[in-house]
Amino acid sequence: MLMRKLGRSGLKVAALCLGGNTFGWTTDQNASETVLDAYVEAGGNFIDTADVYSRWAPGNKGGESETVLGAWMAARRNRQAIVMATKVCGPMGPGPNDAGLSRQHIMQGVEASLKRLRTDYIDLYQAHWDDRETPLDETLRAFDDLVRQGKVRYLGASNHVAYRLTRALWESERQGYARYECLQPKYNLVFRDEYERELEPLCLEQNVGVIPYSSLGSGFLSGKYRRGETLPSTARAAGVQKAYMTERGFAVLAAVEKVAAGLGVTPTQVAISWLAHRPGITAPIASATSKTQLQELVAGVELQLDAEARKTLDEASAWREA
């Protein structure tokens, strides 16, 4: 699998980042390990998770995904070959200090993540969301201390708007802190404008790596959601219906399916290929619950769309200034 550099760091990562949000939730330990083994066999090395995965599921308390990954790495003895990314900020308890980007929560969060992952360092530690109630200097200094201590190699931000990311980059440079080397935004063929309007030019100018999530629109761009048909019995179906099952969404899906039919590939592969080869994209994040799904995603990253196919997709999904 093609390897790319994460931002200006020396971290080389696979062109597909395997999302860990399903591990310990919709896939148990054995099923998760099947997917993980297939990913590594395909040349992958970059896995993204978060401490809150999957706190939302009944009976879960958070940290389930990290626990699955830690057990897998320990069993395979492959920690050095894996680029492990996780996140902090989400609520991990009922108390007021159990969430956010305060120094206390970051320091507690990293120790808990290290324990669950069964490792003594995290390759990429990300601010899962922005925390505007905590002074930015407090957050950035805490992250910088973790880098200096060797517990974290590189830093990233997720779900940040452009002006807040700009401020964080400026403050890190001014104070001599380790900076955010990558951004994890929501970005796909249907949901383009929020990233492309301001974040894309910023990341390109500042050489910030980009690892977008929701690459397939929570499965919508795979073609499994249809007009007038019963929604799949999944936890995310209602959200997909609201966000993607619109006139615009179905128009984009029609273009994806047209390109896929012309090339003899799947809609999933077309959607992933378009995203993976956009300017500045390091690696789209996508999850798989089976070896077959994983192989389809890998084939999508390796697929090269021709100019006509890209034009069809770009025109169908283009956004316009309000």
For residue 34 the two structure tokens come to 């099947």
pLDDT of residue 226: 85
- Please report, as a single letter, which amino acid is at residue 159: N
Instruction: CATH number for 3-217+267-305: choose from 3.30.1330.20, 3.20.20.100, 3.90.230.10, 3.20.20.140.
Output: 3.20.20.100
- pLDDT tens track for 16-25: 999 999 999 9
User: Scanning the structure block, which residue is given the tokens 């330990």?
Assistant: 29
Q: pTM (2 decimals)? A: 0.96
Cis bond upstream, residue 54 (ω within 30): yes
Tell which residue, 43, 47, 35, has the closest CA to residue 1. Answer: 43
- The list of the chain residues with pLDDT below 50 reads none
Scored b (16 or more CB within 10 A) or e, 68-84 reads bbbbbbeeeeebeebbb
pLDDT of residue 129: 98
Please list the residues that pair with 182 across neighbouring strands: 156, 209
Percent of the chain at pLDDT > 70 equals 99
pLDDT of residue 242: 83
Alpha helix ranges (H) inside the chain: 29-41, 64-76, 103-117, 136-149, 162-175, 193-194, 200-206, 237-244, 247-263, 267-276, 291-302, 307-317
Whether 53 is a known active-site residue: answer yes
Scored b (16 or more CB within 10 A) or e, 284-308 reads bbbbbbebebbebbbbbbbbebeee
Tell which residue, 14, 94, 19, has the closest CA to residue 53. Answer: 19
pLDDT of residue 235: 67
- Parse the chain into domains and list their residue ranges: 3-217+267-305
- pLDDT tens track for 256-307: 999 999 999 999 999 999 999 999 999 999 999 999 999 999 999 999 999 9
pLDDT of residue 100: 98
Catalytic-labelled residue, pool 53, 180, 195, 244: 53
CA distances from 266 to 20, 119, 246 (A): 23, 38, 21
pLDDT of residue 322: 60
